[in-house]
Structure 1
Amino acid sequence: MSMHDDIKTVLVSEEQLKAKVAELGAQISRDYAGKNLVLVSILKGSVVFMADLMRAVSIPCNIDFMVVSSYGGSNTTTSGLVKIIKDLDGDLSGKDVLIVEDILDTGVTLSNLVPMLKMRNPNSVKICTILDKPSRRKANIQPDYEGFQVPDEFVVGYGLD
């Protein structure tokens, strides 16, 4: 029995993913032209998307990585309190930060992470996600760049964690 036997339906095809990443890269390149862009990948789930997106962005930019964890009373619920496991290597002062996420679900973690990053004096902090589950949103946060909206189902593939 392979993993493919467990997959009920394909929500987004490889061709759709490639086209959307190219579209997002072009839009980000237009929006951040002449700015000091830093793409911040939230590991580990966004690494495949980040690799594809940074190739699709045609303007100079820096990249950095964070590992964050939301922790709460149990392993299955999130309190939204963000614990930084691996912090950024670079300084964000005066830079335009684009958080690169694999999936925006409840939004609780990002709604706490964004203010933490804003305290580091960037020009801006925005969010780019390849998948968005707005039906699961608990926090008042929306992506600035979105690949695909998906239903409230367990999704796999494209490096998602």
Structure 2
Amino acid sequence: MDAADMGQDLERVLLTEEQIGTRLDELAAQIDADYAGREVLLVGVLKGAVMVMADLARRLHLPVEMDWMAVSSYGAGTTSSGVVRILKDLDADLTGRHVLIVEDIIDSGLTLSWLLSNLRTRGPASVEVATMLRKPEAAKVDVDVRYVGFDIPTDFVVGYGLDYAEKYRNLPFVGTLAPHVYTD
């Protein structure tokens, strides 16, 4: 799927496939340096982090394992309340492990804050966060994020794992969705 396939549903391309790839190379180099000599457990948050996790893992030169969590944060409509349910828990034991949570986007930070607290109770050696996108203006809680791909405005974005009604995840870029798609 590309921009032409979206037709009038795409307002604009915010980040190109090339920009994302270049930034992932930079993040991977930083992670390789920071975790030199250690094994890392990458924890992807489903479903959005699939693209970021796969592309980041392939760029890393250090040994990594991968595991997945699915969490649901519900509230009024499209906004998170910070009340979280685990839909799929990790298979791996975190005791003594270096854990790197991989996210597609951090919006309010409420779900991520809960997830960090939860994982830290499981006895890891360390827990850090890597995200492709962050919306600083949307933050409701302060969350320490060690690796950030891009800070973006509060626009509604899709692509590169991000969806609207389970569509557009497979776009190789990040774009803003035209308002007519989600306001009808």
Q: TM-score over 0.5 for the alignment? A: yes
Give 1:149's aligned residue.
151
Q: Is the 8 A contact 2:80 2:108 kept in 1?
A: no
Local SS of the residue matching 1:148: strand
Local SS of the residue matching 2:78: coil
Compute the displacement of 1:105 (Å).
0.5
Greater displacement, 60-69 / 8-17:
8-17
Larger relative contact order, structure 1 or 2 (CA cutoff 8 Å, min sep 6): 2
Please give the root-mean-square deviation of Cα atoms over the aligned residues, in Å.
Answer: 1.3
User: Normalized against structure 1, the TM-score is what?
Assistant: 0.94
Give 1:27's aligned residue.
30
Give 1:131's aligned residue.
133
Give 1:97's aligned residue.
99
CA distance in 2, matches of 1:130, 1:28: 14
Give 1:36's aligned residue.
39
Local SS of the residue matching 1:110: helix
Local SS of the residue matching 2:157: coil
Q: 2:59 aligned with 1:62, yes or no? A: no
The 3 A distance-change label for structure 1 pair 28 and 4 is farther
Q: Which runs of 5+ in 1 are unaligned?
A: none
Compute the displacement of 1:50 (Å).
0.5
CA distance in 2, matches of 1:14, 1:135: 24
Compute the displacement of 1:81 (Å).
1.8
Matching residue within 82, 101, 110 for 2:84 = 82
User: Normalized against structure 2, the TM-score is what?
Assistant: 0.83
Q: Which runs of 5+ in 2 are unaligned?
A: 164-184
Local SS of the residue matching 1:101: strand
CA distance in 1, matches of 2:19, 2:74: 34
Compute the displacement of 1:5 (Å).
2.0
CA distance in 2, matches of 1:5, 1:104: 26
CA distance in 1, matches of 2:125, 2:28: 20
